[in-house]
Amino acid sequence: MATGLTVSRILHAGYVFECEGTRIAFDTIFENPFSRNCHAFPDVRFDQARIREQRFDAVFISHFHDDHCSLESLDLLARDTPLYIYCIFDELFEMVRRLGFTDVHPLRLNEAVTVGPFAVTPREAMDADVDSMFQVRAAGLNVLNVVDSWIDDGTLAQLVREGPWDMVLWPFQTMRELEVLAPSRAAAAPPELPQEWIDQLQALAPRYVVPSSCQFVQEPWSWYNRAFFPITYAQFTREVGEALPAAQVVRLNPGVSVRLDGAGLHPAKPLDWIAPVGAQDVDYAYEGNAAPPHTSEIARLLAGDGAVLTDAQQERVLEYCRSGLLHKYGDVEAASDYFDRPRIWQLTLYDHAGAATQFRYLLDGASATTAAPDAGPLGWTTEIPAVKLYAALELGESLTSMYMRINDTVFDADTERDLEDADVVDDPLVRCLFSDTFGAYQAAQLRRLGR
């Protein structure tokens, strides 16, 4: 048996670690696309029959987001697999148990879990209510899986003390999740890696750095593919290599495995249940916010992919806009004070043919009421394909893939001045759909799985 630690990439932030015959996995996503329309980049195919044959001594999940915790992926695993999940919400543990898992444990920060030769310790991420990262020790080696979190100064100091580090799995994309919601108001991404990343990697001083997480693109026609991901693999390799000349940057595509030991890094047998499709050493191309298509065109493109609502589904969306949204609005608050004064909000839906249906609301404090077309100057606008609003309501789709367009117009001078201090996530539809909702994606999965 080979000595050392074998590290295999699944997808996104998912990995399999093997040492001395013990196998553990992290953030097990066995779907392509995952999160409904995040397509593996590079493209791969999962052999679900082979995955059902796999046995893991433990699975660790860093947080509840659907690109890290998917019940449809977990459904492929043996129900006696020990699951260790970092989540402050009891509802997620209940959902996993409803799926049939019998050995489910909450993770506690800085408390190690021992599985055979492995000691896995969750470490605190910047948003401790959501994320965690993992320190993995085995065979005298020390690996940090940052997942897709940010590291604050206190945790960085702790991690430096935990060194030396043999390998760091580093989330290499500064995803433009919010900027693409309001492209006419967003600046292009900086042309270099955040200096904070460089400083932190230099402080950790690992032997190997793996560009990790964010290994996906949207539909082939999507403008997000040139606006969402500012950093290429080549750029990451170049800048990190220049800043850490003693380290080696190693790209791990889905299915690829390496064996890490004290002497270095060696090729290992790939995962035989992940099949590469087409070119694998592909790279991102960022063009800023260049020429985003109108939301009506996006709605037509989605329809061309088969995303067309039935009459009943369309009525579900319209009824939400006529009534459900008005009742929901009072339950959610804005983070900024932009909506402390009355505002006229215009919501525009686009159907599969690109035809628009508009709603206007008067937002006044905690109340939302319908407003006439001449009620006053607009203070906020939101556009969305109707099929995506339905997906958020019934299928648990997340904001990342909604193709929502916010404030893509020019308002009067006073409103424009006030908007300088507003936050894009104060959008009324965003708040009504996501502000106080937990586990919508997983709940929709349970319905699809009949649980």
In terms of Cβ atoms closer than 10 Å to its own Cβ (0-12, 13-18, 19+), residue 413 is: exposed
pLDDT in tens, 37-63: 899 999 999 999 999 999 999 999 999
Cα 380 to the center of its chain, rounded Å: 26
Residue 154 scores a pLDDT above 70? yes
In whole angstroms, give the CA distance from residue 13 to residue 349. 34
Rounded to the nearest 10°, the torsion over CA 5, 9, 13, 17 is: -30
Give the chain's mean pLDDT. Answer: 95
**Amino acid, res. 258:** V
pLDDT in tens, 174-190: 999 999 999 999 988 99
68-77, 198-207, 366-375, range with the lowest pLDDT: 366-375
Residue 315 scores a pLDDT above 60? yes
pLDDT value for 59? 98
Residue 13 scores a pLDDT above 70? yes
In whole angstroms, give the CA distance from residue 104 to residue 24. 15
228-231: long-range contacts, CB 8 A cutoff, minimum separation 24: 228/175, 228/176, 228/177, 228/180, 229/173, 229/175, 229/176, 229/284, 229/286, 230/173, 230/174, 230/176, 230/189, 230/190, 230/284, 230/286, 231/172, 231/173, 231/174, 231/193, 231/284, 231/286
For the chain, what is the largest distance between any 2 Cα atoms, rounded to a whole number of angstroms? 76
**Is the bond preceding residue 42 a cis peptide, omega within 30 degrees?**
yes
pLDDT value for 311? 97
Instruction: Give the model's confidence band at 225: pLDDT under 50 very low, under 70 low, under 90 confident, else very high.
Output: very high
Instruction: Give the model's confidence band at 2: pLDDT under 50 very low, under 70 low, under 90 confident, else very high.
Output: low
Residue 195 scores a pLDDT above 70? yes
In whole angstroms, give the CA distance from residue 437 to residue 426. 15
Residue 290 scores a pLDDT above 90? no
pLDDT value for 435? 85
Residue 374 scores a pLDDT above 90? no
Average pLDDT over residues 216-232: 94
pLDDT value for 187? 86
221-228: long-range contacts, CB 8 A cutoff, minimum separation 24: 221/301, 223/291, 223/292, 223/293, 224/180, 225/285, 226/285, 226/286, 226/287, 226/290, 227/176, 227/179, 227/180, 227/183, 227/286, 227/287, 227/288, 227/289, 227/290, 227/292, 228/175, 228/176, 228/177, 228/180
Instruction: Give the model's confidence band at 114: pLDDT under 50 very low, under 70 low, under 90 confident, else very high.
Output: very high
Residue 314 scores a pLDDT above 90? yes
Residue 405 scores a pLDDT above 60? yes
pLDDT value for 376? 87
pLDDT value for 438? 86
Instruction: Give the model's confidence band at 291: pLDDT under 50 very low, under 70 low, under 90 confident, else very high.
Output: confident
Residue 166 scores a pLDDT above 60? yes
pLDDT value for 436? 77
Residue 270 scores a pLDDT above 70? yes
- Tell me the domains of the chain and their CATH numbers: 5-276 (3.60.15.10), 295-449 (3.30.1050)
Residue 285 scores a pLDDT above 80? yes
Higher pLDDT, 335 or 282: 282
pTM for the full model? 0.95
